[in-house]
A and B are shown apart, each in its own frame.
Chain A
Amino acid sequence: MTAQPSDRNAFLAELSATDYELFRPHLTSFALTVGERLQDLGVPVEQVVFPHGGLVALTMPLRSGGGGGAILVGRDGIVGAVGAAATAPAMSDAEVYIGGRGARISASAFRYVLDQSATVRRLAARYAAALMVQAHQTALCNAAHPVEARIARWLLEVVDRSGGFDVPLTQSTLALMLGVQRTTVNLAAGRLEAAGVITCRRGYMRILRREQLERHACECYRNVRAYVSHVHAVPAAAAPPAPVAEVLARKPA
C-alpha cells in the first residue's frame, strides 16, 4: 500500500503508512542548496538524504582537482543509504547541482528503522541496486561511447529528474560530470545544436527535440531506465518480478 504523497521522494512515497511512521519522527525537512556537499568520499556517512526535488551528483574526485563518473540522484533516489546501512565511509562525494527540498535522517536512525522492518530493508536494497546499475552502466558508457551520445544521455537523465526541457547546468558542470574538457562539451553540444536538437545558452541548455535527443543518446539511457522501472515495478512486499534479463533484452520500440 502506498500511503505517501507523490511529490515526496519516491522512496518515502513508496513506504506503507506503517513503515513511514517508523521514519517520520526522525525526518527533518531542509533546503538542498546548489553547491552543498552532502557527503565526502571516505568520510563516515552521518546522514541519509531523500531529495524531494533538485539534483544531487555522486562523483569521484581526482587528486588533480577534477573528477567525474557522476551518478545522478533526484527524487527517485537516496543519498548515503548504503554507507549508513553498512556503517561504512561514503563511497563518493555528493554535491547538490540543482536546488530543491529534501528530508534527512541520521545514519543511526536509518539503521534503527532498517532493523525494524523487512519491507524497508527490501526497498532500500532495491534503491541500492538501482544506484549500482547506474554506476556500472556509467563506467561502461565512459569507456565505450562517444562524447555526444554521453552528453545526450546526461541531458535526458537530468530532465527526467528536474522536469521540463531546460537543463539548468553549465557546460563546465556537464564537463565535470562526464570527466572531459569543457571545450569538448562545448564542441560536442555545438554539434547537437547544429542538428537542431538542443540550444545552448549561458548557464543552461534547452532540449528542443526530445525524441531526437533520445536517438542521439547511447543505449545506457534506456538500459538504466528499464532496470530501474523493473526494480520498482512491484511493491517491496510483493513477490519478485520476472527476470531482469527479459527487460534488458527487449529491443527499443
Chain B
Amino acid sequence: MPLYTFELQDGQHPVGDETGVWFADRERALDHAHRVARELMSAREVQTRTWRLDVYEDGSRVEQVPCAHAQLPQSDPADRRGTLLRHIERFQAGHVGGAGDHAGIAGAGRAFARQTVSGDGRWQTHHGRQLSIAKML
C-alpha cells in the first residue's frame, strides 16, 4: 500500500505534509486531496484560487490538484445553477418579497461567488439571456 504525501503550493512557501497517509490506491488518495483542498480554501475562495495541492506517491509527484476547482458543488450542478438563476431573475425583475427571498438571494450570491472563481463567470438564464459577472457587479 503506497504512502501518499502532500505539498501545498500557495505562491509563497511550499508547505509539505511529510507524515502522509496510506491509501490502497491512487483514486482514494486523490479523493482525499480534493477534500483537503476544499477544507483549505473554505471561506477564502478568492484568496486561494491560485493554490495547488501536489500529491506524491512514495515520494514521486503523481498529481496536481488545483484548489479553485475543488470547491465546485458536489450535488447536481444543473440543479444548483437553476435554483441560483431563478433567484437572480426574480431579483432583476424586482420580485423580491419576504425574508425567504433575501435568504435565497444571499445564498445565491455565495454560490455565484464560488462559481465565479472556478468557472468562466458567464451563464444563460432560463429565459435565454446571457448573464455576465461584469454586468452583475
CA distance A68 to B15 in the complex (A): 25
CA distance A186 to B19 in the complex (A): 9
Taking a contact as CB atoms under 8 Å apart, the answer to whether B15 and A194 are in contact is: yes
Taking a contact as CB atoms under 8 Å apart, the answer to whether A181 and B15 are in contact is: no
Taking a contact as CB atoms under 8 Å apart, the answer to whether B8 and A191 are in contact is: yes
Q: A183-B32, A190-B8, A191-B10 are in contact. Are A146 and B17 (CB under 8 A)?
A: no
Q: A190-B8, A191-B10, A191-B15 are in contact. Are A183 and B36 (CB under 8 A)?
A: yes
Query: Would you give the 0/1 interface string for B1-18, flagging 1 where the beta carbon is closer than 8 Å to chain A?
Result: 000001010101101110
Q: B35 on the interface (CB 8 Å rule)?
A: yes
Q: A144 on the interface (CB 8 Å rule)?
A: yes
A183 neighbours in B (Cβ, 8 Å): 6, 17, 21, 32, 36
Taking a contact as CB atoms under 8 Å apart, the answer to whether A146 and B32 are in contact is: no
The interface residues of chain B, by DSSP majority, are classed as mixed
Taking a contact as CB atoms under 8 Å apart, the answer to whether A181 and B39 are in contact is: yes
Q: A181-B35, A183-B6, A190-B8 are in contact. Are A147 and B17 (CB under 8 A)?
A: no
Q: How far is the CB of A144 from chain B (nearest CB, A)?
A: 6
CA distance A183 to B40 in the complex (A): 10
- Among A147, A182, A186, A187, point to the contact of B42 (Cβ < 8 A): A147
Tally of B interface residues using CB under 8 Å: 19
CA distance A224 to B119 in the complex (A): 38
Contacts between chains A and B (CB distance < 8 A), count: 46
B17 neighbours in A (Cβ, 8 Å): 183, 186-187, 190
- Among B19, B40, B53, point to the contact of A147 (Cβ < 8 A): B40
Q: A191-B15, A194-B15 are in contact. Are A184 and B10 (CB under 8 A)?
A: no
Taking a contact as CB atoms under 8 Å apart, the answer to whether A187 and B15 are in contact is: yes
B39 neighbours in A (Cβ, 8 Å): 147, 180-181, 184
CA distance A96 to B13 in the complex (A): 36
8 A Cβ contacts from B49-74 to A: 53
A184 neighbours in B (Cβ, 8 Å): 36, 39-40
Q: A181-B32, A183-B6, A184-B36 are in contact. Are A190 and B16 (CB under 8 A)?
A: yes
Q: How far is the CB of A94 from chain B (nearest CB, A)?
A: 26
Q: How far is the CB of B39 from chain A (nearest CB, A)?
A: 4
Query: Would you give the 0/1 interface string for A154-195, flagging 1 where the beta carbon is closer than 8 Å to chain B?
Result: 000000000000000000000000001111101110110010
Residues of A within 8 A of B (CB): 143-147, 180-184, 186-188, 190-191, 194
Could you show 29 A-B contacts with beta carbons less than 8 Å apart? A143-B43, A144-B43, A146-B42, A146-B43, A146-B44, A147-B40, A147-B42, A181-B32, A182-B19, A182-B21, A183-B21, A183-B32, A183-B36, A184-B40, A186-B17, A186-B19, A187-B8, A187-B17, A187-B36, A187-B40, A187-B53, A188-B40, A190-B17, A191-B8, A191-B10, A191-B13, A191-B15, A194-B13, A194-B15
